[in-house]
Amino acid sequence: MSETTTTNTTASATTTEALRERALKLDAADQLADRRELFALDDGVYLDGNSLGALPAHVPARVQDVLTRQWGELRIRSWEESGWWTAPERIGDRIAPLVGAAAGQIVVGDSTSVNVFKAVVAAARIAGEGRDEILVDATTFPTDGYIAASAARLTGHRIVPVAPADVPAALGPRTAVVLLNQVDYRSGRLHDLPGLTAAVHAAGAVAVWDLCHSAGALPVGLDEHGVDLAVGCTYKYLNGGPGSPAYLYVAERHQAAFDSPLPGWNSHADPFGMTPDYAPADGSARGRVGTPDIVSMLTLEAALDAWDGVEVDAVRAKSLALTDFFLECVEAYVPAGRVTSVTPAAHAERGSQVALRCDNAESVMRRLIERGVVGDLRRPDVLRFGFTPLYVGFADAERAARVLAEVLAETAGA
């Protein structure tokens, strides 16, 4: 269905029953099915985990302990006794295997935007003199573009917007940094991180990747593919909670040269020395800035327990099976000509969401949500459905497609 409209009429009762039965069989065989019980879910279908992941059910009790015992009773002692001070690196090491990184290369804290700023400026400094161009994904999430433009002004570079597929041809001796998203937030297209990173390195430039729509949904392989720096959020597929802190990956080979544009006291080699001159800490800690947001950070740490024992390859396999099945159900159920998939059909080019273009998208999504199928949209005409393999099942995918077909049939000609 990629880039083509559906041709089938509304599915027959026989087709519907067959797809429902297949969904039940697929759910029964799903090795990740038991993970669903770890999350606080209602009887609807939640397909917006690519914007905000569902709440792991054990998190409220853990947060209550942070508030009442660690803060309420231990108070300032919790910086040491409860491990508050080491949380940014400790939690970074828990995220590391989910993105294919060895320990000691990820620090948790600040927002994705702040970390993009740190990474782009530091990458420009690593690239050195004589290189004055920052290539940026022309279709990137707007904030990444805004931040990169500000970083360019600060460092005296110029921004060069380019489609990810055109990056190899756009690289040259003046390229300092390339900032790309691994998965496009609108369409769910998965870009070629290994190939593009290799091309960036062949040109002598530094690769910075935004992993917001890939971490927790598919293997990333930061170390394996030689990525220089990367950033990502934790409130989507990692289920860290609204506004949960982001993370910054600095490859070990770059840590000594990582010159942060935000040298706060938390990243000082002797943070309690309170000296007027700045001396950066060793390792990933030099990516820290100010006092970390402890409550949100420890909420994230608790949420990551849902990943214990989970292999990212299994998550990827289920993600592809779910999105395949959803597209098949949409093909079977949706009235002819009502939607167009803008998500690639090829597995090598697909993240963990399905984006469907349709008329009256805002109204359609509102009706879907009213019926318990929660996705979101990107104006003017794209419906987005995010598939989080830890808690979304095949019966969810079938139901979502069926309800979508009902809504579209009711709004025909509207």
Residues serving a catalytic function are 141, 210, 235-236, 384
384 DSSP β-pair partners: 355, 376
DSSP bridge pairs for 377: 383
Cβ-contact 76, 257 below 8 angstroms: no
Burial status of residue 312 (CB atoms within 10 A of its CB: 0-12, 13-18, 19 or more): buried
Tokens of 324: 């395949």
User: Using CB atoms within 10 A of its CB, is residue 240 exposed (0-12), middle (13-18) or buried (19+)?
Assistant: buried
Q: Is 226 left (phi over 0), alpha (psi -120 to 50) or beta?
A: left
Q: Are 391 and 36 in contact (CB under 8 A)?
A: yes
Structure-token match 């049939």, residue found: 409
- Identify the CA nearest to 117 among candidates 269, 293, 257, 287: 287
Contact 87, 94 (CB under 8 A): no
In this structure, what DSSP letter does residue 46 have? E
b/e for 83-105, b at 16 or more Cβ within 10 A?
A: ebbebbbebbbbbbebbbbeebb
Alpha carbons 290 and 66: distance in angstroms, whole number: 20
Nearest to 175 by CA among 185, 162, 165, 193: 162
Residue 380: cis peptide before it, omega within 30 degrees of 0: yes
Measured distance CA(336)–CA(8) in Å, rounded = 5
Rg (the chain; Cα; Å): 22
Q: How far is CA 40 from CA 56, 239, 303, 315, 338, in A?
A: 6, 11, 12, 19, 33
Let me know if 221 is exposed, middle or buried by CB neighbors in 10 A (0-12, 13-18, 19+): middle
